[in-house]
Amino acid sequence: MKCSLLWTVLTVAAFAAATPAARHSLKVKESIAVPRGWAKRDVAPRHMRLNLRIALPQSNFALLEQELYEVSDPAHERYGAHLSQAEVNELIAPRPESVQQVKAWLAGHGLREEDLSFSPAGDWIKVAVPVSLAEEMLDAEYHVYEHSEGDTLVRTASYSLPEHLHEHVELIQPTTLFSRFRGMKTSFRLHELDASVAPPASAPPIHVPSASGGKVDASCNTTITVQCLKELYNAVGYTPKANTGNQIAATGYLDQFANLADLQLFYADQVPAAINTSFKLVSINGGQNNQSEPGGEANLDTQFAFGISHPIPATFYTTAGSPPFIPDVGTPTDSNEPYLDWVDFVLNHPNPPQTISTSYGDDEQTVPLSFAQRVCNDFAQLGARGVTLTFSSGDGGVGDGDPDPATQQCFTNDGHNKTEFLAAFPASCPFVTTVGGTHLVPETAISFSGGGFSNVFSRPKYQDQQVEAFLNKLGPKTFAGLFNKNGRAYPDVSAQADNFRIFFEGRAALIAGTSASCPTFAGFVALLNDARLRAGKPPLGFLNPLIYSLKSGFNDITTGNNPGCGTQGFNATKGWDPVTGLGTPNFGVLEKLVV
């Protein structure tokens, strides 16, 4: 009765606030320059429905961040004491006043409480409205925007809110988010074994002191397999268990489907012990896994992440929604916001996998500041709960994600067209572990390995020492003005990223990109979690404070560079660098350090 009365009172007040006279109090909440490559087309259909997501300020995020670092720092007494879902939700729940004010505003536009849905912590409100109502609520003009590569979005370059709501709302989307969220693979080709490329069967192994037994099969210089990775990263002979509670997952978007028949061919070829096993399929927002349309990205992610970590239980998240979105009578709802759907889902899961690999991202500058910060904060929630998130660093070197340096566009979207290195997101979020790329044996940095410095996030303390050492070696004049030396630096680590032998449509294929290095590294993290859980210890969770504190455990990569933007990019050097991070994993050493 009390709740009903309160809702009635708030509704009346909100209707009063929505009068024409009161609307003069509307104030721009967010306005952007439309990112390069997007062109405004038609006015958005008035009837089309938008799934508006309203982010309310998280009341105690600073405390959550403090707790995240405490439970992730091996030098802290609370290391490994991860928070429960309920504890995290309590810390980030919005203030009641914010909830009341936003509900009242929505009620003033005819939206009832039953029209609304809430995140577990109540810090996100979702409501479906037609474009016509969204424009009225936000004093916005939605249009259809088309990218030069064919993607289509319904967006507005600016939106407003009543001035009194600004302190109660962090952001509303879809409005100003023009990110395309691409897969991070640079090449994909069907492959038949070529005697002119493959080394002779009698070729001697390659001497690598840090590898298992100090050697790696010569074939690994032309084709990467699970066995190659276990040899190179010193994990031969380690067999995880299936019943420790450990889990690993890979995410799939943009109609990238993981083919089960191809997985069995891959297992027969590289992981015979896994034949007739599979992954758990989790559909988000109606996501499919169409077996007649296999995806090279999805096959790569599942085959290598799950092949390395077998028999640890594996999950493939398939999330619906993909560009190009063509608004018409047949598609009345804009559903190409798959990434937020996945974040919503996994935050609502009481027991998410301890390791999750994502091989997708976009240019940081295409993501509004408010959105980037909020999504990054959502990642912090998962880290506090003991989840390791790995993300690809990108495939454009220091450029804009285009793997071809000749066609890269390295200009800011702020209207000034300033030339600068372009960071990637979510790779630039300080609460994830970002994975760059190497190739060949012995290893060297691969040229497309994304790396650099964020223009959104400041450098976290856990990487101060290593990044400052790199900057001192680089000197103040090198690339002056092209990057933010005070920004979050990435990648954190790296792994092989070229000539991965996967199976696609029943045939062997070779694929390259940090889409390969990311699930590879995640597979080895899952093995480390296996070792910890078997020893009665909690999972690793957010890795970065740990790995930046270690004096060993990674193979330092000191050759190669990541060109882009008309430059040679950064060089891989001794210690951390923005090409290969701290280096590639030495599982045998890391296992001893973390157990």
**Whole-angstrom distance, CA of residue 346 vs CA of residue 317:** 10
Instruction: Calculate ∠ Cα 481-486-487, nearest 5°.
Output: 95
Nearest to 231 by CA among 535, 529, 496: 496
Judge whether 19 lies within some domain: yes
Q: What is the mean pLDDT of residues 69-74?
A: 98
Q: What helix, strand, coil percent values describe the chain, rounded to 5?
A: 30, 25, 45
Which pair of tokens denotes residue 506? 């029943």
Handedness of CA 425, 426, 431, 433 (dihedral sign): negative
Q: What is the mean pLDDT of residues 169-176?
A: 95
- Pair (174, 189) in one structural domain: no
**Whole-angstrom distance, CA of residue 331 vs CA of residue 483:** 41
Q: Is 557 annotated as a binding residue?
A: yes
pLDDT in tens, 399-458: 876 666 667 778 887 777 788 999 999 999 999 999 999 999 999 999 999 999 999 999
Backbone region of residue 440 per phi and psi (left: phi > 0; alpha: psi in -120 to 50; beta: other values): left
Q: Is 577 annotated as a binding residue?
A: yes
Backbone region of residue 527 per phi and psi (left: phi > 0; alpha: psi in -120 to 50; beta: other values): alpha
**Whole-angstrom distance, CA of residue 450 vs CA of residue 483:** 14
Q: State yes or no: pLDDT of 335 exceeds 50.
A: no
Which pair of tokens denotes residue 117? 């849905």
Judge whether 278 lies within some domain: yes
Chosen domain end from 157, 178, 199: 178
Among the listed ranges 79-88, 251-260, 400-409, which one has the minimum average pLDDT value?
400-409
**What is the band of 37 on the pLDDT scale with cuts at 50, 70, 90?**
confident
Average pLDDT, the chain: 90
301 is catalytic: yes
Q: What is the mean pLDDT of residues 536-557?
A: 98
User: One-letter amino acid identity for 140?
Assistant: A
- Pair (235, 140) in one structural domain: no
428 is catalytic: no
- Pair (191, 171) in one structural domain: no
**Whole-angstrom distance, CA of residue 9 vs CA of residue 16:** 11
- Pair (101, 231) in one structural domain: no
Q: Is 556 annotated as a binding residue?
A: yes
Strands 26-31 and 158-162: antiparallel
What residues make up the domain containing 100?
Answer: 2-58+93-178
- Pair (172, 187) in one structural domain: no
pTM: 0.92
The pLDDT of residue 356 is 98
Judge whether 338 lies within some domain: no
* Selected catalytic residue, list 59, 449, 515, 517: 515
**Whole-angstrom distance, CA of residue 532 vs CA of residue 595:** 5
Q: How many helices (H) and strands (E) does the chain have?
A: 14, 29
* Selected catalytic residue, list 65, 146, 231, 297: 297
Q: How far is CA 212 from CA 176, 205, 231, 528, in A?
A: 50, 12, 5, 16
- Pair (219, 128) in one structural domain: no
Contact 344, 119 (CB under 8 A): yes
Q: 338-347 vs 369-384: helix axis angle to the nearest 10?
A: 30
Instruction: Calculate ∠ Cα 184-190-195, nearest 5°.
Output: 120
- Pair (518, 563) in one structural domain: yes
**Whole-angstrom distance, CA of residue 175 vs CA of residue 205:** 55
**What is the band of 184 on the pLDDT scale with cuts at 50, 70, 90?**
low
Q: 514-534 vs 296-309: helix axis angle to the nearest 10?
A: 30
515 is catalytic: yes
Q: Is 575 annotated as a binding residue?
A: yes
Q: State yes or no: pLDDT of 138 exceeds 80.
A: yes
The number of residues in the chain equals: 595
Q: What is the mean pLDDT of residues 575-594?
A: 98
Bridge partners of 121? none
**Whole-angstrom distance, CA of residue 174 vs CA of residue 159:** 11
Q: What is the mean pLDDT of residues 456-484?
A: 97
User: One-letter amino acid identity for 476?
Assistant: P
Q: How many domains does the chain have?
A: 2
Chosen domain end from 133, 148, 178: 178
- Pair (298, 243) in one structural domain: yes
- Pair (401, 304) in one structural domain: yes
**Number of other residues whose CB lies within 10 A of the CB of residue 49:** 16
Judge whether 425 lies within some domain: yes
- Pair (199, 291) in one structural domain: yes
- Pair (143, 197) in one structural domain: no
* Selected catalytic residue, list 65, 170, 301, 362: 301
Q: How far is CA 460 from CA 260, 431, 441, 463, in A?
A: 41, 9, 32, 6
- Pair (302, 415) in one structural domain: yes
The pLDDT of residue 157 is 95
